[in-house]
Amino acid sequence: MKSLVLLILLLPLAAALLTQLIAPRFRQTSVRISIVGSVATFIVAAALLTLALRGEPTRVIQFGANWGELLFDPLGSLMAFVVSGISLIVHVYSVRYMRDEPGYPRFFVLLDLMTAALLLMVIAGDLITLLIAWHLIGVLLYFLLGHDASSHAAHRYASWTLLTYRFGDLPLVIAAVLLYQAFDTWSLQAIFAQLTQAPDKLTLFELPLAETVAALVALSAFARSAQFLLHTWLPYSMSGPTPVSALMHAGIVNAGGFLINRFAPLFVNTDGVLHWVFIVGLVTAVIGSVLMLAQNDIKKALGYSTMGQMGFMIMECGVGAFSLAIYHLIAHGLFKGTLFLGAGGVIGEARQDDGVPKDDLYTFVVEREPAKRRQPWLPMAIMTLVVPVTILVLAHWLVAQDFFQKQGAIVLLFFGWVTGAQLIFSTYRMRTQNIWRLMGLILFSFTIVVLGYAMISHAFDLFLYPDPVFRTSIDAAAGIDIIWFDALVILMALVVVLGWLITYAAEQHRQYWGAKLGAIWRSFYTLVAREFFVIDAYARLSDGLLSIARRLNVLLRWS
Amino acid sequence: MSSLDMSSFGYILAAIFLPLFPASMLFNWLFFRIGNVWLRSGLLLVWPQLGLWLLAAVTEEPPVGLIYWGVLTAGLYAFRACALRDFRLWTAHMATSSWALLWLAAAVNEGGYEVNLQAAAFSAPFVLLAWFIFRIESSFGAAYAGAVGGLALTVPRLAGVLVMTVLAAVATPLFPGFFVLLQTITQALMVVPGAAVMVLGVWLLWAWAGTRILQGLVFGPASSEPGADLAGVTTGLLGSVLLVLVIAGIAFAEGLA
């Protein structure tokens, strides 16, 4: 076990070193070494995950007196498997994609180092090791994004990414120091054990330790996972090579969700921090998704889509669905990685052929004759509201009968409800002649997705947090007063129902609503198209600060 | 002379060598005018040690105001370094910024030679940078971001080692600067929390200053004729020095408490 944990770190490091040493003489061979290292790392990660799935207990492997602890636990082994898997795919993809780029072997050295840093982050057993890995990821990403040494633009955006990351590193430093001062150890396991014994410990300025540290950890996670106001680096980091975009969107950006999960024993002792996490995630999810819709550049749209997904992941943490966030980050990593790696090829092929098979389904969905008459809007609206919620409730009830006692699950159900309703609404808008066939297809896919999501997330919950008492305490930390919660549920249900009724009515009487809301809609679109002026504000701030620094230098005669 | 006068005099002298603004201007003025690379390197190594020696000679604890003034000086020079394009000035400003933090480190340290080692850990990357300044000035006529650009394309070995040294100077892990800052913050957060939090701000400014100078010197299209790159032996030697710094950093981390 100890050797496997050590090996998973040493393999990418050794691959990086060998690649660097051999590169000047054997360009191609050096890259092959990197690939072999990547395959070996993946095999070791798979072995570790297998051990964890077989129920091997959590172990701490100590390499130094004060720090240098590595942790073998379900979360670390699962994340190591994901990181090494995505890294392997990116490695293999880059062999041909980057072949003609200058600094070809250097790119693989950086990829290997990044893999090592990510693996170190997920298996770090103490705060110093975690801080080192957390910092190094930002630095390595800076060099990966700026791989094209001749591009000023790439480096400008890489610098901005590094600065945002560094901004996010700092709260984690304070959090680590506060924990060390409180418990006199850097070891995460020892800290969590002591925290469970004394959850009401106070810290600086008589502030509650758990809440203060949790808020700082959350802030760090926000910067890493591109939450609103700390998001601007994400959509603009596309000037880096495509494999880096894939690695970043599929792996690195998910670190926020991982960090919150790593500190789960801390968050269960908080009261209120998770609510803020939920709000930040919600705002990010909404704004990210809105911004994505307004983009006309596919890579930028994917960037904002990631922002929305990250918001959703953080929001899941906020409602106490920690393991669901891990499932989400893995699922998102896989589909976003695929999208990035396939984007260039898809665009190229689509210029020749749209790639959609001209079968029955295609004719039905795309080459359809619009129906002369729509279905009556009111029954359709009612169906839109009733059907998804029924499927969602049944699916969740099948998986866990105590579903309705979990506030977080009910909050997430609302999102599922709105998504399902959106699907059914699209059948109404599409004006198909055979509406029942279309709806059948949609409902079938929706049911499969909901069932899969509910079952897999439940399995993740059991794997990552096997202790039922701990699972209950996560829900308790994320929960609010039951009266307030019920009132909010009723209010939200009313908003959703009313919203969809208005949407259907507006669709029926388009001209009237179009004239009424047109001007407001156009102003909103302008705001969205300018990305809410956040980037402009940051650019102004940075220019202003540099101008002040220049003036000061002149005033003080550069001394 | 009364003890108060003695200590005030000692602090004033120390403020020159552990640079507190405006006394800090003397070091920057000197560094910019000294042309000899060995003298510059010596200055970078000895200057803060002199300051620490003077500070130790004043037996009283430095007033909290001076500690805050040190952190503010560090912030001021880090902030000004963000707008600098002359690599020589940049190095001097960043060294000033690092050493000014030693007021806080010295105040929260439990005595012994630890703070001297911390000063040396801060100085070491700047000694290497002094050599790089000499090398770039000899090859390209000036070490000025923009005028000399795209070193990664023209002299890749030199650029590679230079980038690593700048990373060491801005306290990137696993270089000793990272652990010195972590140690200082760990010791200071419960005693002078305001100053400890301000140190984090300085750290952020260092990162900004570092990326800006790299952007101007190392990255972007080549703006000068290719000069002679480092020989393999020199690169290996510089790499070894950086490796020693990393090992020193890990050793620092062992003592983190």
| Nearest alpha carbon to residue B162 among B138, B126, B209 | B126
Contacts of B251 in chain A (CB under 8 A): none
Percent of chain B with pLDDT over 90: 79
Q: Do A159 and B167 touch (CB under 8 A)?
A: no
Dihedral angle computed from the Cα positions of residues A378, A380, A382 and A388, in that order, rounded to the nearest 10 degrees: -160
Domain count, chain B: 1
Residue of A nearest to B96 (CA): A559
Which residue type sits at B21? F
Q: Label residues A437-464 b or e (16+ Cβ within 10 Å = b).
A: ebbeebbeebbebbbebbebbbebbebb
| Nearest alpha carbon to residue B178 among A135, A49, A394 | A135
Structural contact between residues B18 and B70, judged by C-beta atoms closer than 8 angstroms: yes
Domains in chain A: boundaries: 1-125, 149-355, 368-508
Per-residue confidence (pLDDT) for residue A365, from 0 to 100: 60
Per-residue confidence (pLDDT) for residue B137, from 0 to 100: 92
Q: Do B189 and A550 touch (CB under 8 A)?
A: no
- Confidence check: pLDDT of B21 > 90: yes
A28-53 pLDDT per residue, tens = 888 999 999 999 999 999 999 999 99
Contacts of B188 in chain A (CB under 8 A): none
Which of B193, B200, B221 is closest, CB to CB, to A170?
B200
Q: Which two tokens stand for residue A229?
A: 């106001």
Q: Label residues A84-101 b or e (16+ Cβ within 10 Å = b).
A: bbbbbbbbebbbebbeee
Give the whole-angstrom CA distance, residue B237 versus residue B6.
Answer: 46
| Nearest alpha carbon to residue A226 among A269, A284, A276 | A284
Full domain range(s) for residue B228:
3-254
Note the helical H segments in chain B: 3-17, 24-33, 37-57, 64-81, 87-100, 102-108, 114-140, 151-154, 156-169, 176-188, 193-217, 232-254
**Smallest Cα distance from B179 to chain A, Å:** 9
Q: Which two tokens stand for residue A264?
A: 């789960």
Contacts of B178 in chain A (CB under 8 A): 132, 135
Name the DSSP letter for residue A241: -
What are all long-range contacts of B223-226, with beta carbons under 8 Å and residues at least 24 apart?
B223/B146, B223/B147, B223/B148, B223/B149, B223/B150, B224/B140, B224/B147, B224/B148, B224/B149, B224/B150, B224/B154, B225/B154, B226/B154, B226/B155
| Nearest alpha carbon to residue A235 among A245, A223, A243, A221 | A245
| Nearest alpha carbon to residue A200 among A187, A191, A216, A211 | A211
Which helix or strand (DSSP H or E) is residue A496 part of?
helix A482-508
Q: Do A177 and B189 touch (CB under 8 A)?
A: yes
A118-174 pLDDT per residue, tens = 999 999 999 999 999 999 999 999 999 999 998 888 899 999 999 999 999 999 999
Q: Do A559 and B28 touch (CB under 8 A)?
A: yes
- Confidence check: pLDDT of A333 > 80: yes
Q: Which two tokens stand for residue A282?
A: 């919600």
Give the whole-angstrom CA distance, residue B5 versus residue A432.
Answer: 93
Percent of chain A with pLDDT over 70: 93
Here the ipTM equals 0.94
Which has more confidence, A475 or A45?
A45
Interface residues of A toward B, Cβ cutoff 8 Å, are 64-67, 128, 131-132, 135-136, 139, 142, 146, 149-152, 155-156, 158-159, 162-163, 166-167, 170, 173-174, 177-178, 180-181, 186, 204-205, 545-546, 549-550, 552-553, 556, 558-559
CA distances from B236 to A27, A50, A110, A125, B184 (A): 20, 42, 19, 34, 32
For tokens 């944990």, the residue is A5
| Residue A492 banded pLDDT, cuts 50, 70, 90 | confident
Give the whole-angstrom CA distance, residue B248 versus residue B254.
Answer: 10
Cis peptide bond upstream of A6, omega within 30: no
Q: Which two tokens stand for residue A216?
A: 């700082």
Which has more confidence, B80 or A529?
B80
